[in-house]
Amino acid sequence: MSMLKVDNLNVYYGAIHALKGVSLEVNEGEVVTLIGANGAGKSTLLKTLSGLLKPKEGTIDYLGKSIAGSAAQSIVKAGISHVPEGRRVFANMTVEENIELGAFLRKDSQGIKQDFEKVYATFPRLLERRKQLSGTLSGGEQQMLAMGRAMMAKPRLLLLDEPSMGLAPLMVKTIFQVIKDINKEGTTILLVEQNANMALSIADRAYVIETGRVIISGTAEELQASEEVKLAYLGGH
C-alpha cells in the first residue's frame, strides 16, 4: 500500500527552482533511498515533505490525505518525523531533555516511558550519557540522539537526512544497523544519503535525483547493477 505519494513537486528557494516536477512513491514498510550529488535537491524534498518548505505546485499525499503546505506540527502529528541534516540537537540541554522533546505532542505518559526505554535499549550510549549536555557529545552520539528524539514521536514514516555524514566508518555501520532495526519494527523510512553504497545495501528501492529532477528509479538491486549509477555514485566498478 502506498504510504506517501509525491506528484510533480515544484519547489523554489527565492528565484532558484530547486525541485522540478519530482514524483515518487514510498510504500508501507519499505526503506526508500534518495541518491544524488550535493545540491541536487534531496534535502529540499525532505524539508517540503515535513512542512518546513511550501511547494509552488504538485501534490503530496500521505495515507491518502493531502499534506502539501500543511504546518510542520500537524505533519508530525500525522506520523512523519524528520531527522535533519547536521543533527540539530539542542546543545545546552541534556541528552534526556532532547529525547523528551521528541514526545512533545503526546499525552500517553505510560507509552512515553516505554519509548524512552526503547530508545535507550537501541542506543545504550545515550543511556550512559543521559545527564550530559548534548553539545558535548561526539558527532556519532549526536546522530543517535537525533534519531532517538525522532523515534519518540512514534512515527510511521521516518525521514532521515544524511545520517552518516562526517561519521567514522565504525559509527556509520552502527547507524545503518539501527536504521535496519527501526524498519524491521515497522517504521517506513525515506533516507537521503551521500554514501550510496551503504544506502543501497539496506534499501528496497531508490531514486536518483540530479539538479532537482528524478533521473533514475528502480529497486536497490537494479541501481547497484546500473553502469550509470556505478560510475556516478558508487565509485566506479
Q: Which residue, 158, 149, 154, is CA-closest to 100?
A: 149
pLDDT of residue 44 exceeding 90, the answer is yes
Euclidean distance between CA atoms 165 and 106, whole angstroms: 30
For residues 11 and 20, is the Cβ–Cβ distance under 8 A?
no
**CATH number of the domain within which 56 lies:** 3.40.50.300
Q: Tell me the whole-structure pTM to 2 decimals.
A: 0.90
Phi-psi region of 24 (alpha: psi -120 to 50; beta: other; left: phi over 0): beta
Q: Give me the residues paired with residue 9 across strands.
A: 22
30: amino acid identity, one letter: E
Q: Give me the residues paired with residue 213 across strands.
A: 210
Q: For position 236, what pLDDT does the model report?
A: 59
Q: For position 199, what pLDDT does the model report?
A: 94
Cell triple for 19: 525541485
Q: Mind listing the pLDDT tens digit for each residue in 96-138?
A: 999 998 888 888 988 889 989 989 998 999 999 999 999 999 8
In the sheet that holds 65-66, the strands lie side by side as: 16-27, 2-13, 57-62, 65-66
Domain count along the chain: 1
Domain membership of residue 208 as a residue range? 2-233
| Dihedral over alpha carbons 210, 215, 218, 220 (to 10 degrees) | -20
Average predicted confidence (pLDDT) for the chain: 92
